[in-house]
Amino acid sequence: MSGAVDIENGDGNHHLVTSDNPDHPANLIPSLCAKFWTLGWVTGTGGGCSIRDDDLVYIAPSGVQKELMKNTDIYVLALSGQTDLKNRVYLRSPPCGRPSQCTPLFLAAFTKRGAGCCIHTHSQWAVLVTLILETQGPGRDKLFEISNIEQIKGFGRGFQKQGNLGYHDTLRIPVIENTAHEEDLTEFLEEAMDKYPDTYAVLVRRHGVYVWGDNVHKAKTMCESLDYLFQLAVEMKKLGLPWLADVPQVLPSSKR
């Protein structure tokens, strides 16, 4: 297990998670996780969410029912103060609970991609897609690819690139192997980011998916779009329909 050190002032730094603003990260994370629970993304305390506000990082705890989470359950750390992502120094910890093992993966999204939000779900559709890809057998990279579906437009073109993917583009999401301990996924996640620099998500075999974005809005909408595409892909597979299709571009007569 990784170490965790707390640096607190007299009030336990509870002021870091106290605000009347519903968009404050400490309020937004419980609100988002309650919504994710209704979608089946964070069932049984699984999954989580983290938001970066400049140098401060707010993280959902581990082992807490995500639909019942409160602002006082949130962990806070300073991103610039971390010298070892697996042995973290916290500015604020709740009086009970434990840090999320997802934390180093969230921090990887913040440090390697400059993300403002990272979401981890245990979506059944994400897991099913990885199971379908298992049937391809060993000896090749596992990669979820889908094209010519309107919802693909919900994704950016890639890290530091302008605009979104188009209808005729191909969305590619790498798949990494699962590990017995969540923190041990960090190196695999970072390798996938390096190999597929334009991806905004990484699937974890038989586990779920990590999705990140420049801000909460982008991370949330891409996570929703991705779950839609995963469900669609599973249904397409049932019908024997390919995920990659050669669909010609059609233009109205006025643009020909």
- 255 inside domain: no
**Domain-located, residue 256:** no
Active site residue 182: no
- Is residue 254 a part of any domain in this protein? no
Report the candidate in 170, 137, 177 with the shortest Cα–Cα distance to residue 155: 170
Question: pTM for this one?
Answer: 0.92
pLDDT in tens, the chain (256 residues): 345 555 554 357 999 999 999 999 999 999 999 999 999 999 999 999 999 999 999 999 999 999 999 999 999 999 998 887 778 899 999 988 788 999 999 999 999 999 999 999 999 999 999 999 998 877 567 999 999 999 999 999 999 999 999 999 999 999 999 999 999 999 999 999 999 999 999 999 999 999 999 999 999 999 999 999 999 999 999 999 999 998 888 888 777 6
> Does residue 102 have a known ligand-binding role?
yes
Containing structural domain, residue 15: 4-245
Catalytic position from the list 8, 134, 150, 191: 150
pLDDT of 6 = 55
- The CATH number covering residue 186 comes to 3.40.225.10
- In contact, 74 and 59? CB cutoff 8 Å: yes
Q: Is residue 250 part of a domain?
A: no
252 in any annotated domain:
no
> Is 120 annotated to bind ligand?
yes
Is residue 159 included in any domain, yes or no?
yes
Within-domain flag for 251: no
Domain count, the chain: 1
* Domain annotation covers residue 166: yes
